[in-house]
């Protein structure tokens, strides 16, 4: 392996690191948006905001696509890192076992900080901004992995229903929600707009 190929692997690793951060941040950003925020984005005149709302119309498939993309990227990144480490170990005459042990620790920390913690912290603080900026790439990824994500989406739904955990059963009854609201009011008064929003949810649920 020449120096040029080592440089290529290093650059490829950095690109994959950014892609991993993209998927991790996108997952946090999209699924941190409240229903009211999604509704507002859907009614916007900006195409980037409409795209976010459209992607969230199929949340399960969106989540599966993000997981697929992140998994492919992380596996490829780990493989590149291992090859790069072995080549460097041969050049500097270090035992492969020791080099790989160090590589596992270093790469794990790098991925954890730059591709998991940092993008998620940024995304959770500004979910709408992050979602708008990443929506187009995520939509392209959704088309790219569409057959696989569709299959996995339906398969996971089948497994979920097979064990008796349907989406309907995951919903809290209206009476239980009312009880939770009453408990919340005991710890502090709700704002007027919050009460109106909660009341509209109750009315919708009882129809």
Quick check: 19 and 69 in contact, CB under 8 A?
yes
Q: Are residues 157 and 200 in the same domain?
A: no
Q: Are residues 50 and 94 in the same domain?
A: yes
From CA 166, how far away is CA 148, in angstroms rounded?
22
Worst-scoring range by mean pLDDT, 82-91, 123-132, 198-207? 198-207
Q: Are residues 143 and 187 in the same domain?
A: no
Mean per-residue pLDDT over the chain, rounded: 83
Q: Which two tokens stand for residue 123?
A: 């995304």
Domain-located, residue 183? yes
Please state the pTM of the whole predicted model: 0.74
Average of pLDDT values for 123-151? 93
Q: Quick one: CA dihedral 127, 128, 131, 132, positive or negative? A: negative
Worst-scoring range by mean pLDDT, 46-50, 122-126, 153-157, 203-207? 203-207
In this predicted model, which residue has the larger pLDDT, 40 or 201?
40
Cα–Cα distances in angstroms (integers) from residue 204 to residues 60, 95, 174, in the given order: 23, 66, 10
CA R_g for the chain: 22
Average of pLDDT values for 22-51? 91
Q: Which two tokens stand for residue 185?
A: 């009011």
Domain-located, residue 96? yes
Q: Are residues 11 and 82 in the same domain?
A: yes
Work out how many domains the chain is built from and give that number: 2
100 C-beta neighbours (distance < 10 Å), count? 15
Quick check: 123 and 28 in contact, CB under 8 A?
yes
The range of the structural domain enclosing residue 200 comes to: 174-206
Quick check: 29 and 123 in contact, CB under 8 A?
yes
> Could you report the per-residue pLDDT of 94-107, keeping only the tens digit for each?
888 888 898 899 98
Worst-scoring range by mean pLDDT, 112-116, 159-163, 186-190, 194-198? 194-198
**The pLDDT value given to residue 23:** 96
Domain-located, residue 168? no
**The pLDDT value given to residue 93:** 80
Share of the chain above pLDDT 90, in %: 50
Q: Which two tokens stand for residue 120?
A: 């998620």
**The pLDDT value given to residue 137:** 93
Nearest CA-CA partner of 141 in 43, 53, 71, 76? 71
Domain-located, residue 201? yes
Q: Which two tokens stand for residue 51?
A: 């795209």
Quick check: 127 and 33 in contact, CB under 8 A?
yes
């Amino acid at each position: 392996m020449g120096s040029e190929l080592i440089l290529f692997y290093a650059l490829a690793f950095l690109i994959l690191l950014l892609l991993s951060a993209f998927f991790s941040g996108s997952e946090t950003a999209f699924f941190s948006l409240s229903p009211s925020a999604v509704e507002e984005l859907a009614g916007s005149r900006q195409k980037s905001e409409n795209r976010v709302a459209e992607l969230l119309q199929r949340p399960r498939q969106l989540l599966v696509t993000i997981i697929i993309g992140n998994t492919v990227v992380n596996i490829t990144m780990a493989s590149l890192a291992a090859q790069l480490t072995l080549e460097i170990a041969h050049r500097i005459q270090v035992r492969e076992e020791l080099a790989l042990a160090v590589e596992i620790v270093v790469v794990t920390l790098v991925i954890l900080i730059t591709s998991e913690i940092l993008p998620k912290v940024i995304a959770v603080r500004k979910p709408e901004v992050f979602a708008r900026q990443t929506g187009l790439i995520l939509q392209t990824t959704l088309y790219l992995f569409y057959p696989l994500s569709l299959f996995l989406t339906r398969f996971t739904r089948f497994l979920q229903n097979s064990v008796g955990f349907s989406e309907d059963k995951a919903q809290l009854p209206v009476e239980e929600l009312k009880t939770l609201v009453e408990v919340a009011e005991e710890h502090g008064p709700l704002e007027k707009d919050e009460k109106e929003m909660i009341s509209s949810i109750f009315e919708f649920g009882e129809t």
